Amino acid sequence: MSTPTRRIAVILGVGPGLSASIAKKLSSTHSLLLLSRSLPDSLPKLNLPSSIPKENILALSSDGSSSSLKKAFEDLQKHWPESRVDVGIYNVNEKFEMKDFLDKSESEIRSGLETGVVGGWNLSQSILPLFLKNEPDSETGAKGVLLFTGATMSIKAGAKFSSLAPGMFARRALSQSLAREFGPKGVHVGHVIIDGIINTERVKGMMGEDKGDKRLDPDDIATTYLALVNQRRSAWTQELDIRPDCESW
Amino acid sequence: MSTPTRRIAVILGVGPGLSASIAKKLSSTHSLLLLSRSLPDSLPKLNLPSSIPKENILALSSDGSSSSLKKAFEDLQKHWPESRVDVGIYNVNEKFEMKDFLDKSESEIRSGLETGVVGGWNLSQSILPLFLKNEPDSETGAKGVLLFTGATMSIKAGAKFSSLAPGMFARRALSQSLAREFGPKGVHVGHVIIDGIINTERVKGMMGEDKGDKRLDPDDIATTYLALVNQRRSAWTQELDIRPDCESW
Amino acid sequence: MSTPTRRIAVILGVGPGLSASIAKKLSSTHSLLLLSRSLPDSLPKLNLPSSIPKENILALSSDGSSSSLKKAFEDLQKHWPESRVDVGIYNVNEKFEMKDFLDKSESEIRSGLETGVVGGWNLSQSILPLFLKNEPDSETGAKGVLLFTGATMSIKAGAKFSSLAPGMFARRALSQSLAREFGPKGVHVGHVIIDGIINTERVKGMMGEDKGDKRLDPDDIATTYLALVNQRRSAWTQELDIRPDCESW
Amino acid sequence: MSTPTRRIAVILGVGPGLSASIAKKLSSTHSLLLLSRSLPDSLPKLNLPSSIPKENILALSSDGSSSSLKKAFEDLQKHWPESRVDVGIYNVNEKFEMKDFLDKSESEIRSGLETGVVGGWNLSQSILPLFLKNEPDSETGAKGVLLFTGATMSIKAGAKFSSLAPGMFARRALSQSLAREFGPKGVHVGHVIIDGIINTERVKGMMGEDKGDKRLDPDDIATTYLALVNQRRSAWTQELDIRPDCESW
């Protein structure tokens, strides 16, 4: 990746876990538009390394709604007018609550669908037109790369996941449909099924340190995201799974 | 199936195609609560056979919203106070329009999700508590049977299906999660993947008569729905596909 | 099903469990060619009901090899020269032994493949030419129905199933390929994924009586096989799963 | 990867296409044991770059049989007595011939199974005990990495693939079972589904040059194999797909 213009990666759903690790990896080639509900206030909590120049980060608030994303992409355009947006990551998670179906309300399935797929739809609507304007990358041949984070519940709907699995199945469907439509137009769309618990600070706080490598290290996951971003267009991955060696599945 | 109380089957998404065929098959053992946006006005268009006693049919309007379903189940309770609701069919279809992703609006994915899964969620919330109050059926051992109609796009998200496939993937997830949660409680939850074009009056009007058995006969599909309803609890099917012999897949 | 000629169903892999139940269900419309390694000696152990006329049963030995099957179909032809073979069931099971991969020998994977798919290949090679000569059934439109019994390990290869799952994945592939090739020629090919423990006499002997309906009743499974045999050609099922209500999956 | 001992990668099924590309990528860190029916005679046809020191390549004949592999691993041990075998690639392809099922013979399904899974079984039996003796790699934490090459027909059995798809479904099952058994023992087992035509010299000879990037470049696929080899044990991929941007699927 070696054009003179500033390259931008957009990450929606940024907390101190996986997204921060992906941001770190991408920061050597890309400036970052970081989006989440709690940004920009929560930026310090991401613990991004000081080696990333502050002027390469734009952190804005977005709840995944089309209006908030429209605003964010307008701000992006003003902030870095001469730039090439060519990476998008949809990494929003819904909080999981263990509950029987009949104890759940309609608002919970609706929330699961917003997080699961509507936010990803809105990000795609905002970012794909920008991708299509790009020249193919000189290395990969891609006009852009759009990655969706999935989970076990993206392919298997467990008994307690009635309000979450539908949104995640839907996210997977969206990624597949977009891959089929936009692949021939030069856009790489991928879906990463993360099977296991990511060893974030929050998880360590709740469950203690990982003993025996039973959790996914967010940096190790991010390495695979980067490998996907760098795949050349003759050999793109649409879907892969990732899990710790010890994970039972 | 041989208890003295009136048995009720509820079908949501009733048009003159598959649902009418399912209603016919079920009518020999069940009274019918038929629900759709256009009911009760559209009842004559269903061409239900005159052999079904009119007093065994209750046709009400519902758009799948929780409020309309709450009202419908209250009306049901008043209409047939001594009854056993033990079959539910979620058969709502979203109209398909061939369109590129970037020509679609957020309202289209939202509509796809409402039809795909939210209506099914609401039906499940209304009907499962009724099922759980039932004694197990003396033949099948089931307290109730809840079937969801799927399609090819429930498992494969084609390029033009970006606003429809997510909702149908989500519907499949909901059926799977409910099967896992409610199976051990005596409720049979199934998902039927219909792969091909159903030979409804509407389809015949648009595409002419079927030559060479290339389309699914709604009565033949309904036979399989009935077989699922009658499965005994030691051997329940959660998912099956149905397609015409000539279908390429 | 109502032609005057004698109809024949062929079952390969006949023991006192599922196959005996399927044989019973089919016996009201079909004469039976029963095949297994231990037949005809083991015929009494099948406990077939005395209501099946003895002259409607032909029990022969076959280990699934092409030579044994060739012989069996020649004997069938001599025994019932005027007949219509229109049902085939491949129901051979490999014995499962809990073992680590490195404690298994090449003969075990080979045996798993023979049982899993080669026997099914050979049965298909023998029976499909007979199907193709048939007129379509007046009820179903099928020239023949070929069903393969699968298991959980047909779609999920567990840690201890290294020598068994490959053959069962392969069986599923064969059924799928044949469905695609022979569907348009009027032959219904299906695959039944049985997920759980079948409550056979052998299982009851080893594990005691089933308490709480945790096992599959072979008669209940057979009901679904019969439903598949009777599906009309506009709406054929290629694959379905069956499990007890209590099964965790 | 930085231990002082010589590291060995074993590739079974080596022709001038994908395997040569994988060999090239691995050659910077590994010495190579290359195995195929036609080796060592066909070694010059692989067009391996002269930058790979000849003394880092050992090319031996193997047809995937356990005896040939036993011999090859003994020769390996003699040739490089102080070494660490930590990569294995099973990349054997069966030639595809377009044929109806009833025009195929039993030898064709048998051949498909040998190539599809028995050779992979034998390689695994030879190489896994060597992996288990290794210390975990200081970078990845893996004692070894075993990758299987799959294809579209590994997950979808087309009408003309009756003798090939079973073996490839079986290969996928083997990889899955081994991943579950050996993951917790420190061995990374992966399966790569290659969907499309690889642009090898043979393909170019038959079909001409690729116009419009419709084929998979073997070097681009090999990049992904290398990424898998280098994944750290907290985040291993068991399965991924690869296809050209233009591939319809």
DSSP result, chain B: ---SSEEEEEEES--TTHHHHHHHHHTTT-EEEEEETTTTTTGGGG---TTS-GGGEEEEE--S-HHHHHHHHHHHHHHSSSEEEEEEEE---PPP----GGG--HHHHHHHHIIIIIHHHHHHHHHHHHHHHSPPPTTT--SEEEEEEEEGGGT---TT-TTTHHHHHHHHHHHHHHHHHHGGGTEEEEEEEE-S-B--HHHHHHH-S-SSS-SB-HHHHHHHHHHHHT--TTSB-SEEEEB-TT---
Across the strands, what pairs with D56? none
Residue B129: Cβ within 10 Å count: 12
Is the pLDDT at D85 greater than 90? The verdict is yes
Q: Which pLDDT belongs to residue A219?
A: 96
Interface membership of B151 toward C (CB under 8 Å): no
Q: With contacts defined as CB-CB under 8 Å, which chain A residues touch B129? A: 102
3-class secondary-structure state, position D107: helix
Phi/psi at C69 (5° precision): -75, -40
Interface contact flag, C159 D168, Cβ < 8 Å:
no
Report which of C158, C150, C94, C146 is spatially closest to residue C122, judged by C-alpha positions: C146
Residue D134: Cβ within 10 Å count: 18
Residue type at D106 in one-letter notation? E
Topology classification of domain B6-242 = Rossmann fold (3.40.50)
Report which of A127, A129, A171 is spatially closest to residue A149, judged by C-alpha positions: A171
What percent of chain B is predicted at pLDDT more than 90?
86
Q: Which pLDDT belongs to residue B15?
A: 81
> Any idea which residue has 């991408």 for tokens?
A26
Q: Which pLDDT belongs to residue A239?
A: 98
What is the average pLDDT across A163-188? 98
Is the pLDDT at B213 greater than 80? The verdict is no
Q: How far apart are CA B114 and CA B12, in angstroms?
A: 13
Q: How far apart are CA C30 and CA C221, in angstroms?
A: 18
Instruction: Report residue A200 as tokens.
Output: 């974030």
Interface contact flag, D235 A215, Cβ < 8 Å:
no
3-class secondary-structure state, position D44: helix
Residue D148: Cβ within 10 Å count: 28
What percent of chain D is predicted at pLDDT more than 70?
98
Q: How many residues does chain A have?
A: 249
Interface contact flag, D243 A235, Cβ < 8 Å:
yes
Higher model confidence: residue A175 or residue B214?
A175
Tens of pLDDT, residues D90-139: 999 988 888 999 999 999 999 999 999 999 999 999 999 999 999 999 99
In a mutational test of the D interface, the residue from C130, C162, C185 whose CB has the highest number of chain D CBs within 10 Å is C162
Domain ranges for chain B, please list them.
6-242
How many angstroms separate the Cα of B207 from the Cα of each of B93, B247, C100? Answer: 19, 17, 58
Q: How many helices (H) and strands (E) does chain D have?
A: 7, 7
Interface membership of A147 toward D (CB under 8 Å): no
Q: Please tell me the least confidently modeled range out of A82-91, B201-210, D163-172.
A: B201-210
**208-247 in B: which are within 8 Å (CB) of C?**
213, 215-217, 220-221, 223-224, 227, 231-247
Instruction: Report residue A53 as tokens.
Output: 């120049």
Q: Which residues of C177-207 are buried (b: 16+ CB within 10 A; e: fewer)?
A: bbbbbbbeebbbbbbbbbbbebbbeebeeee
Instruction: Report residue B32 as tokens.
Output: 């019918």
The closest CB to that of D184, out of A215, A241, A245, belongs to A245
Closest residue in D to C127 (Cα–Cα): D102
Q: Any long-range contacts for C150-157 (C-beta under 8 Å, 24+ apart)?
A: C150/C175, C150/C191, C150/C192, C150/C193, C150/C194, C151/C193, C151/C194, C151/C195, C152/C193, C152/C194, C152/C195, C152/C196, C152/C249, C153/D173, C154/C191, C154/C193, C155/C193, C156/D176, C157/D172, C157/D173, C157/D174, C157/D176, C157/D177, C157/D180
Contacting chains of B (3 CB pairs or more, <8 Å) are A, C
In a mutational test of the C interface, the residue from D177, D182, D189, D239 whose CB has the highest number of chain C CBs within 10 Å is D177
CA distance C39 to chain B (A): 28
Q: With contacts defined as CB-CB under 8 Å, which chain A residues touch B193? A: none
Q: Which pLDDT belongs to residue A86?
A: 98
Interface contact flag, D174 C165, Cβ < 8 Å:
yes
Is the pLDDT at D25 greater than 90? The verdict is yes
Q: How far apart are CA B109 and CA B114, in angstroms?
A: 9
Q: How far apart are CA D56 and CA B100, in angstroms?
A: 52
Residue C87 half-sphere exposure, CB side, CA atoms within 13 Å?
Answer: 28
Q: How far apart are CA D42 and CA D34, in angstroms?
A: 11
What is the average pLDDT across D172-189? 98
Instruction: Report residue D133 as tokens.
Output: 């003796």
Q: How far apart are CA C126 and CA A217, in angstroms?
A: 54
Interface membership of B180 toward C (CB under 8 Å): yes
Tens of pLDDT, residues C69-97: 999 999 999 999 999 999 999 999 988 88
Q: How far apart are CA C181 and CA D101, in angstroms?
A: 8
Phi/psi at D234 (5° precision): -80, -10
Q: Which pLDDT belongs to residue D65?
A: 97
Is the pLDDT at B1 greater than 70? The verdict is no
Closest residue in C to D117 (Cα–Cα): C166
Q: How do the pLDDT tens digits run along chain C, 249 residues long?
A: 444 689 999 999 988 899 999 999 999 999 999 999 999 999 999 999 999 999 999 999 999 999 999 999 999 999 999 999 999 999 999 888 889 999 999 999 999 999 999 999 999 999 999 999 999 999 999 999 999 999 999 999 999 999 999 999 999 999 999 999 999 999 999 999 999 999 988 888 888 888 766 899 999 999 999 999 999 999 999 999 999 998 888
Across the strands, what pairs with D89? D11, D147
CA distance A102 to chain D (A): 35
Interface contact flag, B101 A182, Cβ < 8 Å:
yes
Q: How far apart are the first and last CA of chain B?
A: 37
CA distance B148 to chain C (A): 15
Instruction: Report residue D246 as tokens.
Output: 């233009």
Residue B9 half-sphere exposure, CB side, CA atoms within 13 Å?
Answer: 28
Interface contact flag, D118 C113, Cβ < 8 Å:
yes
How many angstroms separate the Cα of A63 from the Cα of each of A115, A208, A242, C48, C165? Answer: 9, 30, 27, 66, 45
> Any idea which residue has 């969801």 for tokens?
B148
What is the average pLDDT across A93-109? 92
Contacts C–D by Cβ distance under 8 A: 133
Interface contact flag, D177 C170, Cβ < 8 Å:
no
> Any idea which residue has 């799952």 for tokens?
C165
Q: Which residues of A212-223 are buried (b: 16+ CB within 10 A; e: fewer)?
A: ebbbbbbbbbbb
Q: Which pLDDT belongs to residue A4?
A: 62
The closest CB to that of A241, out of D180, D188, D237, belongs to D237
Higher model confidence: residue A210 or residue C154?
C154
Tens of pLDDT, residues B107-165: 999 999 999 999 999 999 999 999 999 999 999 999 999 999 999 999 999 999 999 99
DSSP, res C239: E
How many angstroms separate the Cα of D166 from the Cα of each of C118, D102, D212? Answer: 10, 16, 32
CA distance D41 to chain A (A): 30
Q: HEC states along chain A?
A: CCCCCEEEEEEECCCCCHHHHHHHHHCCCCEEEEEECCCCCCHHHHCCCCCCCHHHEEEEECCCCHHHHHHHHHHHHHHCCCEEEEEEEECCCCCCCCCCHHHCCHHHHHHHHHHHHHHHHHHHHHHHHHHHHCCCCCCCCCCEEEEEEEEHHHCCCCCCCCCCHHHHHHHHHHHHHHHHHHHHHCEEEEEEEECCCECCHHHHHHHCCCCCCCCECHHHHHHHHHHHHCCCCCCECCEEEEECCCCCC
Tens of pLDDT, residues C125-148: 999 999 999 999 999 999 999 999
Closest residue in A to B100 (Cα–Cα): A181
Q: Which pLDDT belongs to residue D213?
A: 65
Is the distance from CB of B9 to CB of B88 less than 8 angstroms? yes
Q: With contacts defined as CB-CB under 8 Å, which chain B residues touch A190? A: none
Closest residue in A to D242 (Cα–Cα): A237
Question: Residue D241 belongs to what H/E stretch?
Answer: strand D239-242
The closest CB to that of C186, out of B186, B233, B245, belongs to B245
Report which of B243, C137, D192, B174 is spatially closest to residue A163, judged by C-alpha positions: B174
DSSP, res D118: I
Q: With contacts defined as CB-CB under 8 Å, which chain C residues touch D102? A: 125, 128-129
Q: Would you give the distance in Å from CA B24 to the centre of its chain? A: 13
* Highest mean predicted confidence (pLDDT) among B207-211, D13-17, D78-82: D78-82
The closest CB to that of C170, out of D113, D128, D177, belongs to D113
Contacting chains of D (3 CB pairs or more, <8 Å) are A, C
Interface contact flag, B231 C220, Cβ < 8 Å:
yes
